[in-house]
């Protein structure tokens, strides 16, 4: 079921709401949308979970308040507001790429509300692979309409990837993606390691063996060690929910089932 909710400060969130049962919140990263989880969310819901899949504010179909920053600290605040609006007190967090920064900040701010944390090809400390998006951050807004074709050539190796990126087609879509890139701030997770460890929230780290943006040895393994979490390697690149949805779905569902 598709829904649109207006939050307290006029952020407007578009989301898919699948199934019923144990609640999960699935967060995409950059330059993704909720479509990242199209092949994962229904599988997880079929195993007895309610799966909430939003576009982050300012991404996809979710609209940001005028003049607001759409950094990951703001996303963390908005996502807790979203869960409040849905009357969900405690939740499993499942997050990919820089969406995992929002998830980590959510855990750091309200550990009692997090039943578990699953991170896929995510960020660790200030390691956000910012070099991979520097060209988007530097892109001239006046040429924003040219951004989508470049992204589609670089990343659109599958139909779902191209459909996901289509949210940023045209001048308006390109400007929104440039804004999102410029608002990313790795310093926001640089100093939360101690609070994450102190939270004792159960965690799992999943990583694509062929991730060329965030290296498993320099990012994935230290992150797993910080969280006291097992690290599982999956047969894919950076976009594991698209590359190997069956393996991702099984790993997430098993993790949730063991803690429900």
The pTM for the full model equals 0.97
| Residue 178 domain flag | no
Mean pLDDT of 201-207: 98
| Residue 139 domain flag | no
pLDDT in tens, 142-189: 999 999 999 999 997 899 999 999 999 999 999 999 999 999 999 999
| Residue 154 domain flag | no
Number of structural domains found in the chain: 1
Distance CA 87, CA 160 (A): 31
What domain range includes position 112?
Answer: 2-128+187-258
Mean pLDDT of 227-247: 97
Q: Is 19 left (phi over 0), alpha (psi -120 to 50) or beta?
A: left
The pLDDT of residue 101: 98
CA max distance for the chain: 51
Other C-beta atoms lying within 10 Å of the C-beta of residue 191: 11
pLDDT in tens, 24-38: 999 999 999 999 999
The CATH number that applies at residue 18 is 3.40.50.1820
| Residue 165 domain flag | no
Distance CA 115, CA 110 (A): 11
Report which DSSP code applies to 210. Answer: T
Q: How confident is the model at residue 112 (pLDDT cuts 50, 70, 90)?
A: very high
Is it the case that residue 260 has pLDDT exceeding 90?
Answer: no
């Amino acid at each position: 079921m598709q829904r649109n909710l207006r939050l307290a400060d006029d952020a407007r969130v578009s989301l898919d709401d699948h199934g019923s049962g144990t609640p999960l919140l699935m967060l995409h990263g950059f330059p993704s949308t909720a479509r990242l989880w199209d092949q994962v969310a229904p599988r997880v819901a079929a195993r007895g979970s309610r799966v909430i899949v939003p576009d982050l504010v300012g991404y996809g179909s979710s609209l940001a308040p005028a003049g607001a920053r759409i950094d990951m600290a703001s996303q963390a605040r908005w996502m807790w507001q979203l869960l409040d609006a849905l009357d969900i007190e405690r939740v499993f967090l499942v997050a990919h790429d820089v969406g995992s920064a929002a998830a980590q900040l959510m855990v750091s701010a309200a550990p009692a509300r997090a039943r578990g944390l699953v991170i896929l090809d995510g960020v660790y400390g200030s390691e956000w692979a910012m070099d991979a998006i520097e060209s988007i951050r530097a892109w001239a807004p006046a040429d924003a309409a040219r951004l989508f074709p470049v992204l589609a050539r670089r990343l659109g190796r599958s139909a779902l990837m191209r459909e996901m990126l289509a949210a940023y087609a045209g001048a308006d879509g390109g400007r929104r993606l440039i804004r999102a890139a410029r608002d990313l701030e790795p310093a926001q997770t640089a100093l939360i390691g101690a609070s994450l460890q102190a939270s004792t929230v159960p965690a799992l780290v999943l990583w694509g063996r062929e991730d060329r943006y965030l290296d498993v040895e320099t990012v994935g393994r230290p992150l797993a060690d910080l969280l006291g979490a097992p690290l599982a390697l999956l047969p894919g690149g950076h976009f594991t929910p698209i590359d190997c949805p069956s393996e991702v779905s099984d790993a997430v569902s098993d993790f949730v089932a063991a803690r429900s």
